[in-house]
Amino acid sequence: MPVGIIINSFAILLGGIVGGFAGHKIPSEIKTQLNLIFGLSAMMLGITSIGLVKNISAVILSMIIGTIVGISCKVGLRINQLGQLLERPVARFSSGGHGELSQEEFLMQLVTVIVLFCFSGTGIYGSLDSGMTGDHSILIAKSILDFFTAAIFACNVGYVVSLVAVPQFITFFSLYLFGTQILPLTNPVMLADFRACGGMIMLATGFRIIKVKMFPVADMIPAMLIVIPISWGWVNWILPLITG
C-alpha cells in the first residue's frame, strides 16, 4: 500500500488550505528563513541515503552517464513543459484571487509549484524506493517539508496549490507501481546503490533550495534508472576482473 504517497499528497492538500487561509498572517522573514531549513533537511535525507552505498564507483558512473543522458535528452526542459501543461487545468480552479501577483507571476509560480511537487528528484526517488523496498520514510519526511512549502506558496498563489496534490498523487503512484515491478529483479546490493544514487540527487536538491549551487537536478534523474543495471554489471563483470 502506498502509505507514503497518500501522506505526501494529503500534506500538500492540507498545507495549501492552511496557507491560503492564514498566509497573510505569516511574517515574510519566516517564509524566507524556512527555505534554509528545507534545504538543510533535504541534504540530511541525502547524506543518510548516500551512507548506504555498496559500490561507490558504480554510483558515480551512474550519476555521470545519467546526467549526460538527461542533458542530452533535455529532461529538465521537458519536465518544465509538462508542468506548464498541467498548469492550465489546475489554474482554472483559481477565482483570480491571487493577491498582489500579476497573472503572469501567478502562472509562473503555479508552474514552479507543480514541477516542485510532482517531478522533484526527492519525490521520484522516494516513490520508486517505496515501491521497491516498502520503506516509506523518505516520502513521510518529504511530507513534512511539503506541508510547509505548500503553505508558503499558497500565501501568494492561493488555495489552488492544494489541487496540485491530484497530479502529484497520480505521478508518484505510477512510479510506485513501476518500482514494485523492478523489485523482483534486484538484490540488496543493487537497492543500496539505488538509494545512494537517489541520496546524491537529494543532496543536490538541498544545495539548490539554499541557493548555493543550482545543480541540474531534473537532468540527473535518469541516473536512478540506470544505477541498478550498472550496479549489477559492476559486481558481476568489473569486480571479478579487478580482484581476479
Distance CA 77, CA 176 (A): 24
Query: What pLDDT sits at residue 84?
Result: 82
Amino acid at 113: V
pLDDT digits (tens, 9 = 90+) for 158-209: 888 999 999 999 999 999 999 999 989 999 999 999 999 999 999 998 898 8
SS3 category, 151: helix
3-state SS of the chain: helix, strand, coil percent to 5?
A: 85, 0, 15
Distance CA 214, CA 157 (A): 24
Query: What pLDDT sits at residue 94?
Result: 62
With b for 16 or more beta-carbon neighbours within 10 A and e for fewer, the 6-40 pattern comes to: bbbbebbbbbbbbbbeebeebeeeebeebeeebbe
Pick 120 or 103 by higher pLDDT. 120
Query: What pLDDT sits at residue 150?
Result: 93
Quick one: pLDDT band at residue 106, thresholds 50, 70, 90?
Answer: confident
C-alpha cell at 105: 507571476
The domains of the chain are located at 3-243
Mean pLDDT rounded to a whole number for the chain: 89
Distance CA 168, CA 115 (A): 9
- Residue-wise DSSP of 113-134: HHHHHHS-HHHHHHHHHHHHH-
Q: Name which of 59-73, 86-100, 108-122, 152-166 the model is least confident about.
A: 86-100
Query: What pLDDT sits at residue 69?
Result: 97
Q: What is the average per-residue pLDDT within 81-110? A: 72
pLDDT digits (tens, 9 = 90+) for 17-34: 999 888 677 788 887 788
DSSP state of 127: H
Query: What pLDDT sits at residue 97?
Result: 52
The answer on pLDDT for 130 being more than 90 is: yes
Quick one: pLDDT band at residue 96, thresholds 50, 70, 90?
Answer: low
Query: What pLDDT sits at residue 109?
Result: 77
pLDDT digits (tens, 9 = 90+) for 219-240: 999 999 899 999 999 999 999 9
